[in-house]
Copies of this chain bind each other. A is one copy, B any other.
Amino acid sequence: MSGLGFELLATDGAARRGRITTGHGTVETPAFMPVGTAGTVKAMTADAVAATGAEIVLGNTYHLMLRPGAERVARLGGLHRFMGWDRPILTDSGGFQVMSLAGLRKIDENGVTFRSHLDGSAHTLTPERSIAIQYLLDADITMAFDECTPFPATEEVAAASMRLSMRWAERSREAFVERPGYGLFGIVQGSVYPDLRAESVAALTAIGFHGYAIGGLAVGEGQAAMFETVAYTAPMLPADRPRYLMGVGRPEDIAGAVARGIDMFDCVMPTRSGRTAQGFTRRGTVNIRNARHADDPRPLDADCACPACRNHSRAYLHHLFKANEILGSVLLTWHNIQYYQDLMAGLRQAIVDGRLDAHLADLHRGWAAGDIPAGEGT
């Protein structure tokens, strides 16, 4: 096998049911990747992440290069062994995080020079260094180094930014070491301008990648603009390669993007919300710190098989957050990742069954209905 494998198993309208094959196993798509920023999906053991059905996690180049350091991770056998996670890993390029270091970074044709948020030390990320770091981490899927165009951006600014990213994409491709079971993804930029997105897709497909990401979204443009951009960008991408929408999103964002032809997602929302008392359920989000849960004997989500819902009441989860107990973050993070994995499994099955539209309608009915107050049945 040369590079990363991808099979398209079924379609339903624009939606796709597929399978990615890496040297560390397969990933059924559409797939959600829990974010493991610093070598840990926060508050979750590797066994717990696997128990939710997650088949791939994301690692952050920026965080890992600063601490513990990519060379150290390589000496310790790579990120899989370091994290105790023997399944596929995708790493980002570090570009998004260093661009966010307002006032602490300087960008030029070569790359980005920045100061660490940890100790102020100076570092440089270039396409070549980003790819080298991801090689050291032993990422199954490496992301090209790019600039995530800020939103909003004029068409002129967005064009210049996208064209810089395309030059960096070419350098990334040259720096990438082709190996069986490993892949490199290019990232489409161009903000909300269809012509720029088309130009970006043409540039990337001319270079040739194992998969294609849509970048520069989930940065404040709103769901309608995000869906619109995905709707015209996805069909331009090669059908025989996986498509990854970076940084998206809420369950309804993911469901809508799946319907528009996206195969892969990542977002900090389920993990971050799990630490701030926000639970995702089949009937919308629930703030478990709310006083109405203090005496509620029901599980957070009666249809969920995670330990938080299987073993505990809302009253217990509420208590844990009121008492600032670590177990609150552990259980609610676990639940949220389980919910996201269940969401993806449901979407995959609906595509296979050719009933995605009806399934989406069911999902939206549940989210719109909202949580059932305690004592009002079921």
> Which A residues lie at the B interface, using CB under 8 A?
38-40, 42-47, 67-68, 72, 75-77, 81-84, 275, 294-295, 297, 307, 311-313, 315-316, 319-320, 322-323, 325-327, 329-331
Task: Identify the closest chain B residue to A66 (Cβ).
Answer: B323
B295 contacts A76, C-beta separation under 8 Å: yes
A40 contacts B325, C-beta separation under 8 Å: yes
Q: For A44, what are the chain B residues with a Cβ–Cβ distance below 8 Å? A: 327
B294 contacts A68, C-beta separation under 8 Å: yes
A297 contacts B77, C-beta separation under 8 Å: yes
CB distance from A67 to the nearest CB of B (A): 6
Q: For A83, what are the chain B residues with a Cβ–Cβ distance below 8 Å? A: 316
Q: For A320, what are the chain B residues with a Cβ–Cβ distance below 8 Å? A: 39-40
Complex Cα distance, B323 from A357, in Å, reads 44
Q: A68-B322, A82-B316 are in contact. List 5 more A-B contacts (CB 8 A).
A: A38-B323, A47-B307, A68-B319, A326-B329, A326-B330
CB distance from A177 to the nearest CB of B (A): 24
A316 contacts B43, C-beta separation under 8 Å: no
B46 contacts A297, C-beta separation under 8 Å: no
B45 contacts A315, C-beta separation under 8 Å: no
Q: For A84, what are the chain B residues with a Cβ–Cβ distance below 8 Å? A: 307, 311-312, 316
CB distance from A103 to the nearest CB of B (A): 23
Complex Cα distance, B42 from A330, in Å, reads 11
B327 contacts A43, C-beta separation under 8 Å: yes
Complex Cα distance, B327 from A158, in Å, reads 40
Partner of A311, one of B47, B72, B275, B325: B47
Q: For A323, what are the chain B residues with a Cβ–Cβ distance below 8 Å? A: 38-39, 67
Q: For A313, what are the chain B residues with a Cβ–Cβ distance below 8 Å? A: 76, 81-82
Q: Decide: A42 near B315, CB < 8 A? Known: A47-B307, A68-B294, A76-B297.
A: no
CB distance from A231 to the nearest CB of B (A): 38
Of all A-B residue pairs in the complex, the 7 with the closest CB atoms, nearest first, are A84-B311, A43-B326, A40-B327, A68-B319, A38-B323, A40-B325, A84-B312
Q: Decide: A68 near B315, CB < 8 A? Known: A47-B307, A77-B297.
A: yes
Q: For A325, what are the chain B residues with a Cβ–Cβ distance below 8 Å? A: 38, 40, 42
Task: Identify the closest chain B residue to A334 (Cβ).
Answer: B45
Partner of A45, one of B40, B322, B327: B327
B319 contacts A75, C-beta separation under 8 Å: no
A307 contacts B76, C-beta separation under 8 Å: no
Complex Cα distance, B329 from A327, in Å, reads 11
CB distance from A60 to the nearest CB of B (A): 12
Q: For A46, what are the chain B residues with a Cβ–Cβ distance below 8 Å? A: 307, 311
Q: For A297, what are the chain B residues with a Cβ–Cβ distance below 8 Å? A: 76-77
A-B pairs with beta carbons under 8 Å apart, 9 shown: A38-B319, A38-B323, A38-B325, A39-B319, A67-B323, A76-B297, A77-B297, A83-B316, A326-B326
Q: For A315, what are the chain B residues with a Cβ–Cβ distance below 8 Å? A: 68, 72, 76, 82
Complex Cα distance, B75 from A330, in Å, reads 25
CB distance from A235 to the nearest CB of B (A): 41
Q: For A330, what are the chain B residues with a Cβ–Cβ distance below 8 Å? A: 43, 45, 326, 330
Complex Cα distance, B68 from A22, in Å, reads 48
Q: For A329, what are the chain B residues with a Cβ–Cβ distance below 8 Å? A: 326
CB distance from A31 to the nearest CB of B (A): 23
